[in-house]
């Protein structure tokens, strides 16, 4: 089945894609791609094979979003510099895309799947009403946006929160994700220069404007969330899937997320196995089987 795209905004990446549609189903599996918020190689279609392999009666969507400008030396930005954004605009774009889905499809139940930084975003969505205001404050403080723009986005947060109240969030699946930004940067501080835009977590500083910004914007290190996972509460399962062959994201990331859930007494399932390289987990049959079982177990 061909992918059908729906543009909701003026930017070329402000769209959602129908990866697999079943009009009779009230379930939506909403997928969020990775790419460190900077890579133009990743896109909503990355989940096409998964969506059409996993046996689950639902509507599968991919949500795209604007990127941040990579600071990697020698990297030529494909788009004009003023088309790039900082956090929390990636999250805001994803919420706009999800709102488009809510407005145009009969959805009652939502499942989230995020890969790489998309896994981080799937986690952030569950606290978006707290994380976005702080992120916007940081952008105002650093002169990236105006106060009027901040107010406009805060109004959207209020409006989309009402729409989320009409659906049920069930399962959240985190694939080879990045969840702890401060720890990631501290672990690579002594390494040599990055060899690409996704190496050594260089993209964290590309997407955020300050240490406070990425620390408070990261769910598991934020001190403004009291308690965490408060905007939306998943009524299904939290499932972490990570490959020990991953060449970009080390195992301390999924283990740190698992520990975060344990401390909150939130049940979590963790699978660390040979699911192939970082991007190939999205093509891995063994991972598909786990995802299929989780989605059908509700």
Does position 1 have pLDDT exceeding 70, yes or no? no
At 82-123, the pLDDT tens digits run 999 999 999 999 999 999 999 999 999 999 999 999 999 999
Q: For residue 265, what pLDDT band results from cuts at 50, 70 and 90?
A: very high
At 148-206, the pLDDT tens digits run 999 999 999 999 999 999 999 999 999 999 999 999 999 998 888 899 999 999 999 99
Average pLDDT on 10-32 reads 98
At 40-52, the pLDDT tens digits run 999 999 999 999 9
**What was the pLDDT predicted at 261?**
98
Q: Residue 283: which residues within 8 A CB-CB, separation 6 or more?
A: 49, 50, 276
Q: Are 91 and 128 in contact (CB under 8 A)?
A: yes
Does position 134 have pLDDT exceeding 80, yes or no? yes
| Among candidate residues 271, 274, 225, the one with its CA nearest the CA of residue 124 | 225
Rounded to 5 degrees, what angle do the CA atoms 14, 221, 176 make? Answer: 55
Does position 138 have pLDDT exceeding 80, yes or no? yes
In the chain the domains, ranked by start, together with CATH numbers, are: 4-296 (3.40.50.1820)
Q: Which residue has the tokens 């991972």?
A: 287
Q: Are 150 and 140 in contact (CB under 8 A)?
A: yes
Hey, CA dihedral for 93, 102, 109, 126, is it positive or negative?
Answer: positive
User: What φ, ψ does residue 243 adopt, rounded to 5°?
Assistant: -100, 130
At 178-189, the pLDDT tens digits run 999 999 999 998
Does position 32 have pLDDT exceeding 80, yes or no? yes
The length of the chain, given as a count of residues: 298
């Amino acid at each position: 089945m061909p992918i059908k795209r729906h543009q909701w905004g003026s930017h070329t990446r402000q769209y959602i894609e129908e990866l697999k549609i079943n009009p009779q189903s009230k379930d939506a599996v909403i997928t969020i791609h990775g790419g460190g918020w900077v890579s133009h190689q990743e896109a909503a279609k990355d989940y096409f094979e998964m969506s059409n392999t996993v046996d689950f009666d639902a509507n599968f969507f991919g949500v795209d979003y604007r990127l941040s400008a990579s600071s990697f030396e020698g990297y030529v930005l494909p788009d004009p510099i003023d088309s790039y954004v900082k956090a929390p605009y990636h999250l805001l774009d994803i919420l706009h895309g999800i709102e488009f889905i809510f407005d145009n499809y009969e959805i009652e139940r939502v499942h989230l799947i995020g890969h790489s930084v998309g896994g981080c975003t799937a986690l952030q969505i569950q606290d978006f009403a707290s994380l976005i205001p702080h992120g916007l404050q940081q952008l105002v403080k650093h002169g990236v946006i105006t106060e009027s723009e901040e107010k406009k986005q805060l109004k959207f947060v209020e409006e989309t929160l009402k729409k989320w109240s009409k659906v049920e969030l069930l399962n959240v699946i985190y694939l080879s994700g990045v969840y702890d930004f401060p720890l990631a940067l501290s672990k690579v501080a002594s390494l040599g220069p990055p060899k690409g835009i996704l190496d050594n977590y260089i993209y964290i500083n590309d997407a955020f404007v300050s240490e406070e910004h990425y620390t408070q914007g990261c769910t598991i290190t934020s001190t403004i969330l009291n308690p965490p996972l408060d905007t939306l509460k998943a009524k299904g399962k939290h499932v972490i899937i990570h490959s020990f062959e991953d060449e970009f994201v080390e195992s301390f990331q999924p283990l740190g997320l698992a520990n975060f859930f344990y401390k909150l007494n939130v049940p979590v399932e963790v699978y660390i196995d040979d699911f192939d390289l970082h991007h190939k987990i999205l093509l891995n049959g063994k991972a598909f089987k786990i995802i299929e079982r989780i989605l059908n177990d509700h």
